[in-house]
Amino acid sequence: MLRAVRDAVAMDATAADRLNRAVAVIADALTADVCSLYLQQRDGAMILAATHGLRPDAVFRTRLSGGEGLVGVAAASHRPVAIRDVQTHEAFAYRPETGEDPYSTFLGAPLLRGGAAVGVLVIQHAQDRSYSGDDIEAVAIVAALMAEVAADPDFAAFVAAGTAAPAARLTGARLSPGLAIGVAALRDPPLPIQRMVAEDESEELRRLAQGVDRMRNELDTLLDDPSLDHAGEHRDILDAFRLAASDDGWIRRIRAGIANGMTAEVAARRVQTEARIRMRRAQSAYLRDRLADMDDLAGRLVRAIAAQSGDDGMHALPPNAILFAHALGPAEVLELDRGALAGLVLEEGSASSHVAVVARALGIPAIGGARNALAGVQPGDPIVLDADRGQVLLRPANQVMASFESAVAAKAARKASYAFLGDAPSRTRDGEGIAVLANAGLLLDVESAVAEGAEEIGLFRTELSFLGRAGLPTAEEQIALYREVRDIAGDRAIAFRTFDHGGDKTPASLAGTRENNPALGWRALRIALDMPETLRSQLYALAVAASDGQLDVMFPMAAEAAEISAARAILRGALEQAEADGAAPAKVRVGVAIETPSLVWQGETALRRVDFATIGTNDLLQFAFAADRDGVRMSERYDALSPPALAMLRHVVQSAKRANTPLSVCGEMASDPLAAIALIGLGVRRLSVAPAAVKPIRAVAAHIDAAEAAVLIEELIGSEEHSVRDQVREFAESADIPIDEQY
């Protein structure tokens, strides 16, 4: 075998071909499914330089920090490491881009040269097996040969060239809005564990108890951050995190590990590894949040047991740092140096995750779901984080960086240009009043809406503030939130939408059988009517919070007029209870969100049963086009500015006029300046938009002639085009209507 390997690396071919041939020869000789070569970089990290069996495109993408993973263990110990079940090992570092999931075993031997590890040679098998002493010796011998190969200048130059990463783009989901320009920083790898086997069980239990006390004290200090004293969903999440740290269940699992001969650190690391494995498999967003918290807590406990501060290394960020991590717990975000932190890029995380809520509360731009982000970035890489559009630019060209810097300056200039709008209600050039309202779901959104000059809160999503919890909120918790919303909004009207649970917004207490089409399933008003006590409790809380004032309540996703009547009956009961308690509102208005085609076609019949209505274009259009708006292939296939969509919206507007029911539009369409032109042309006079879009949409309203827009849209509805967006843009340009799509 050694001769064959030597021949492979000496053949007349490129360095890449020679290394690939060498690992293929080794795999064949050792009957291994995988043979991989990792070589050390200047910063101590190990880079995948060649592989037989893993995905070829993982070469130079897969990077392990110094001491990270089983590769790091082999390098640090200067000894071969043989593991039968890698995914349950505390040092296992999962790299999805390699395609290593089928391979359960690991045998790695360090490439030693001059007393230092310059790389690691790894073989893996899919079938369960224990490596014999002969297997280990064979790999160690080949590793000694590969250590000499790695020192060859040709191979060193090849690896250096391969790791000079080009510009790249990552995409993900917006967790917290904003634009940041800075440099990449990576979350610290796990602390290396020096002792694996316990010599004295009682001593390890004592160290565990001390570590738990230290960890909890550090968390108490951290979570009492004065910048987060204001109430809100982030406060609930942090308090829940504190409770999780005090739960004895996971500590008992660590004690069981100590009883089996592990040191306290190893037992805690095992709990952390279990959480990470379950997190990768979890379908429930709620469960992933809980497991991410457990990952964070177990990691903190390992550091605390080792008598190191819980924030060791995490706060040592370079200026304008954009931190890349697989996942972060809410407390981890708090301990970062916020003077240096510019943004977050996470491989996990959704808009409702704990880290997202805390990032929004702190005003930190962040995206989540950025697959394989860690594999493509190195510390110090220049980064542009455009969280509003869910993208990250790695190592952008100077011209691209300059363009984004200009965009930041232009954004500030555009905001200044809206000063002409003043505080008066918006009117079109031909005198039509256009009310620009704001959508909100968190207290921060309400604050932003007020700051941006929204006339009302046209939609308050009541469920968003409570998504980070296992069960439904109590009436008392709801009353406190709704009162605070009203206090922040001042004298502005607020349309409180009842819980729109279901789909991707299902609390654990309502989770049931998994549905194939959750957007079309048990959600929103359907859940409320099936659980009338839950709806009655919420309506009672809304009534009490509005005591002696006006309550505007809106029911989401009604499919027929009969459902509106059923919901109103439950509302009457809640109002009677509030009145009996001396806390009834002085005036109540009932609304409905038009989000289903069936309600569109009931028209006046449904609209005469409510005092106001809003069109939720996000759901309505996905149902009308039978296209999942969250699907990769379908999300941008159909345009809201298409003739059939405009024709359907016209029908709703006309029905509302005949029913004499005030109508608004609250979906993403209303926040799109070009779509706002079309809506005004259709006769919509109330637009409820994202807080950041309030001024851009007010500017559209101030420059448009509503009658001219009506003529244009009536003509375009008869078009056979896929979209009439270009025609609307031409109209805007000819009429000097400002179109700000970069707010």
> What is the C-alpha separation between 531 and 553, in angstroms, rounded?
18
Q: With pLDDT > 90 as the criterion, what percentage of the chain qualifies?
A: 44
602 to each of 72, 108, 260, 527, 684, how far by Cα in Å? Answer: 65, 68, 67, 22, 19
Q: Is the pLDDT of residue 508 over 60?
A: no
Q: Is the pLDDT of residue 374 over 90?
A: no
Q: Is 143 within 8 Å of 110 (Cβ atoms)? A: yes
Q: Is the pLDDT of residue 300 over 60?
A: yes
> What is the C-alpha separation between 338 and 480, in angstroms, rounded?
30
- Taking residues 413-422, what's their average pLDDT? 75
Burial class of 411 by CB neighbour count within 10 A (0 to 12, 13 to 18, 19+): middle
Q: With pLDDT > 70 as the criterion, what percentage of the chain qualifies?
A: 82
Rg, the chain, Cα only: 30
Q: Is 63 within 8 Å of 46 (Cβ atoms)? A: yes
Say which residues have a Cβ less than 8 Å from residue 93's Cβ, sequence separation at least 6: 64, 68, 69, 70, 71, 72
Domains and CATH numbers, the chain: 2-162 (3.30.450.40), 171-398 (3.50.30.10), 413-510+519-734 (3.20.20.60)
Say which residues have a Cβ less than 8 Å from residue 380's Cβ, sequence separation at least 6: 183, 184, 318
Q: Is 199 within 8 Å of 258 (Cβ atoms)? A: no
Structure confidence by residue, pLDDT tens digits, 532-584: 999 999 999 999 999 989 999 999 999 999 999 999 999 999 999 999 999 99
Query: In whole numbers, what is the pLDDT of the chain averaged over residues?
Result: 84
- Taking residues 357-374, what's their average pLDDT? 84
The predicted structure's pLDDT at residue 630: 58
Structure confidence by residue, pLDDT tens digits, 439-452: 988 787 888 889 88
* DSSP 8-class letter at 227: G
Structure confidence by residue, pLDDT tens digits, 254-292: 888 888 777 888 788 777 766 666 655 666 655 666 666
C-alpha angle 514/519/520, rounded to 5°?
90
> What is the C-alpha separation between 375 and 65, in angstroms, rounded?
11
Q: Is the pLDDT of residue 720 over 60?
A: yes
- Taking residues 115-137, what's their average pLDDT? 90
Q: Is the pLDDT of residue 668 over 90?
A: no
Rounded to two decimals, what is the model's pTM?
Answer: 0.55
Structure confidence by residue, pLDDT tens digits, 84-114: 999 888 889 888 889 998 999 999 999 987 6
Q: Where are the beta strands (DSSP E) in 73-177?
A: 81-83, 106-113, 116-124, 168-171, 173-176
Structure confidence by residue, pLDDT tens digits, 160-211: 655 555 678 899 998 888 889 999 998 755 555 556 667 788 888 998 888 8
Burial class of 200 by CB neighbour count within 10 A (0 to 12, 13 to 18, 19+): exposed
Q: Which range (11-15, 54-58, 500-504) has the least confidence?
A: 500-504
Q: Which two tokens stand for residue 737?
A: 């209507």
